Amino acid sequence: MFIGKVSELTGEIYEVVCRLVPQLGAHKVIPTQDDLTALLNSEASTLLVARYPDEESKIVGILTISIYQVPTGVRSIVEDVIVDSSVRRRGIAKALMKAAIEIARDAGANGVALTSNFQRVEANLMYQNMGFAKRETNTYFYKLK
């Protein structure tokens, strides 16, 4: 398995993201090429890809980690962990998460945050088995029009 950082938008990257995002849920909006270019140009965010079974194979998973400074320290959050349904349960998501954790550690973050829908039972178990602790907090969202 190969985990790598994406530095430029290619046709392959765009196609993969368009194919994988709907696997998060039907309500997820597929990003445009401009959206992905902005992500890749952001100093705060890193897009990781997983190729399976080796570096020459097709991309089967993605993950985004954002790292940012706040008054109380460096924070990091993982978003949009997606592994193609045809290759799940092979350690791909775990490998992506381990790479994201190292990126956060290298940046001086005090930890890695993420959210996961309670219906994603296997994903939640994986996070807990990796040492992520469920936080007892309220999550809020203010929808902008």
Assess if residue 110 is contained within a domain: yes
Q: What is the pLDDT of residues 23-70, one digit of tens each?
A: 998 889 999 999 999 999 999 999 999 999 999 999 999 999 999 999
Parent domain of 23: 2-129
Assess if residue 69 is contained within a domain: yes
Average pLDDT, rounded, for the chain? 97
Assess if residue 116 is contained within a domain: yes
Assess if residue 136 is contained within a domain: no
User: Which of 48-67 are b and which e, b meaning 16 or more Cβ less than 10 Å from the residue's Cβ?
Assistant: bbbbbeeeeeebbbbbbbbb
pLDDT for the residue 25: 87
pLDDT for the residue 120: 92
Query: How large is the average pLDDT for residues 86-94?
Result: 97
Q: What is the pLDDT of residues 101-131, one digit of tens each?
A: 999 999 999 999 999 999 999 999 999 999 9
Assess if residue 101 is contained within a domain: yes
pLDDT for the residue 26: 83
| 30: CATH | 3.40.630.30
* Interatomic CA distance for residues 31 and 35, integer angstroms: 6
Assess if residue 113 is contained within a domain: yes
- The total number of structural domains in the chain stands at 1
- For the whole model, what pTM was predicted? 0.96
